[in-house]
Structure 1
């Protein structure tokens, strides 16, 4: 693979000075889950690298996603009972395992005295992609197959967008404050996902196709709660934390422009995606819901990883991510009718190229930081000094 130097010398110097700082006030995490993870991490052999735990969890999510792709490519299979019951049991196991591995990797790193900026970047970078995989996999349960109530394709897009923007909000907050305030929604959402898969495996998908209370379905209630929590909890808490950093004179950025810079690319990204969804001549989201939502997730992850690198290295965020330019061309050609019947082909090509570019970026950044910090990504051994 062609090795490109994506990380600048200034950023490498910033990584050398990086110190991890996080605050977790979620009662579910503090009083329940952390006690569980403290016990689980003791089972892990000391010779296993923390990044191997992180990557194993991500691979489980990918396997789960591809299994659901096979049985439910267009999000219509659940209403027809076409998905075998073992798929839901595996989804619950894979989701819980990925959640556990993501929760103990940092503990294992501290336990083995192998904590490094590379480990945190590796963790958060994969999280930026895993967030969409968690969400679009679960849609196979609560989608609206033919003749059944549930999330429509457009509601899936809205739901996914809100989840991803909440992820970005946390890292934008850290970009400005230097502290990662762990969102309350993470542990709650993971427990809810596992419970949802287990209920589906035990009771059946019919659970999601019947009113839960007062004539409202679980999907409607869940969507309302996510939107409400984002507007009335996550956003106000983020603004409060940034304001308090300003009051204490600990803000990392000294101007409003610099503070808002990481939000430019995500804003443009979701503007373009929304324009494509609402103005597509062939209703691209209806025709290719799974492919389109996967593209949303991988493109967002590519944007988010650049922000995370700048945040950790305490360097200036880029103004506009380069992938937004070809995306803008594709969206323009699609909504103006220039693509015609080739719109689906354009989506497939853009998704493939974006995925390859993002994976290449991740591999090159991992290698570059690995060499700079004199460590291996998946091994506890130190690199030989040159």
Structure 2
């Protein structure tokens, strides 16, 4: 489409050589979820494409996001007792998130049942997961509201989750192995149980409860970096170190191994400048759309890293979609408006935010479908269709 090609010959050759290698040490995943998913997958017809299962799970995440946003677009429903989100919404959200989690665990097993394992499915799965990493945490913000969790603090919560997701792929970029994080399974179960609990007791629980003088929002904020430091970040550092020590990884020079972090850090710095220096404090006026924008840009960075790690090519140090963001931030945070006798209006900045979000979303979707289309063409497969078993298939790969 539009004559743009995203994959080079080096990418495609790298995908041909790619072999999925993962290690899953989570007791919850190994001893509970995988046996459960093995039972569930038996009920799926073999003509059902694994990528269609993956995409269905992602759509459930999007539908839940839209449903909660309909009742609480600006995260202020919890601030007003007369405007709470209906309880049934939390039950629907809990069911949807658990179904999405289950489908995410089943898709790889369906690929092996149908003989369609390969790089496309892994890329498709993790690419959609990178988008979900912003949608799912936003569910939680509605529980607390802006009184307990102001948007600027929500911003750092979002980036904590981005970091957790991204580092696991930085780790694979260096080691060649996907060490499946413990936090994913516990997070999905935790969110599901929280939503069910909210359906039972009502969302007001999260505004009125304190533990050791801390609000539930405080506990949520603290738990994100603490659990990451306990179960994720030190292990990632250790695995990368051992891959160099034992010469089992990609053995890239340190500067090249750190290259994936550059685009991530640039995005964090640029968005933080906007959040804290906006002429109209736009994060308080349009928090949801701002988070969607940041999540879209993050997903594009993450997807390009996943492509690089799977094809064993060099990762981008800067993302092209950040150039429009830089221009917008310069306009929104221009420090000399008062001296020039000019004021950027609230409506103008809101239009800028919405416009950039629409542009970035279209560009990211174009990138995603372009990569999938080019891989399908190269490997002579269809994304959402199981081909004849006699044909060489490359469609999905995920650890048992």
Normalised by the size of structure 1, how large is the TM-score? 0.95
Out of 169, 172, 182, the residue aligned to residue 171 of structure 1 is 169
Structure 1: tracts of 5 or more residues without a match: none
Aligned residue in 1 for 2:255: 257
Aligned residue in 1 for 2:379: 373
Shift of the alpha carbon at 1:377?
0.3
1:362 and 2:368 are equivalent in the alignment: yes
Out of 314, 321, 330, the residue aligned to residue 312 of structure 2 is 314
Out of 325, 344, 360, the residue aligned to residue 340 of structure 1 is 344
On the 8 A contact 1:92/1:197 being kept in 2, the answer is yes
Aligned residue in 2 for 1:330: 328
Aligned residue in 2 for 1:32: 32
Superposition RMSD in Å: 1.7
1:78 and 2:78 are equivalent in the alignment: yes
Paired residues for 1:213-224 under 5 Å: 213-224=211-222
3-state SS of the aligned residue for 2:232? helix
- Taking the aligned partners of 1:181 and 1:3, their CA distance within structure 2 comes to 37
Aligned residue in 2 for 1:118: 120
Q: Could you report, residue by residue, the CA deviation over 1:297-321 in whole angstroms, capped at 9, with x for unpaired residues?
A: 1110011100000000000011211
- Taking the aligned partners of 2:255 and 2:118, their CA distance within structure 1 comes to 30
1:247 and 2:245 are equivalent in the alignment: yes
Q: Tell me which of the two structures has the higher relative contact order, counting C-alpha pairs closer than 8 angstroms and 6 or more residues apart.
A: 2
3-state SS of the aligned residue for 1:376? coil
Aligned residue in 2 for 1:52: 52
Shift of the alpha carbon at 1:53?
0.4
Aligned residue in 2 for 1:43: 43
Shift of the alpha carbon at 1:251?
2.3
When structure 1 is superposed on structure 2, of 129-138 and 295-304 the one drifting more is 129-138
Aligned residue in 1 for 2:202: 204
- Taking the aligned partners of 2:276 and 2:177, their CA distance within structure 1 comes to 37
Aligned residue in 2 for 1:90: 92
Structure 2: tracts of 5 or more residues without a match: 338-342, 393-400
Shift of the alpha carbon at 1:330?
1.0
On the 8 A contact 1:245/1:251 being kept in 2, the answer is yes
On the 8 A contact 1:3/1:364 being kept in 2, the answer is no
When structure 1 is superposed on structure 2, of 80-89 and 268-277 the one drifting more is 80-89
- Taking the aligned partners of 1:82 and 1:232, their CA distance within structure 2 comes to 35
When structure 1 is superposed on structure 2, of 216-225 and 22-31 the one drifting more is 216-225
Aligned length: 381
On the 8 A contact 2:84/2:203 being kept in 1, the answer is no
1:351 and 2:357 are equivalent in the alignment: yes
On the 8 A contact 2:77/2:145 being kept in 1, the answer is no
Shift of the alpha carbon at 1:384?
9.5
- Taking the aligned partners of 1:292 and 1:229, their CA distance within structure 2 comes to 26
Shift of the alpha carbon at 1:73?
0.7
- Taking the aligned partners of 2:293 and 2:136, their CA distance within structure 1 comes to 14
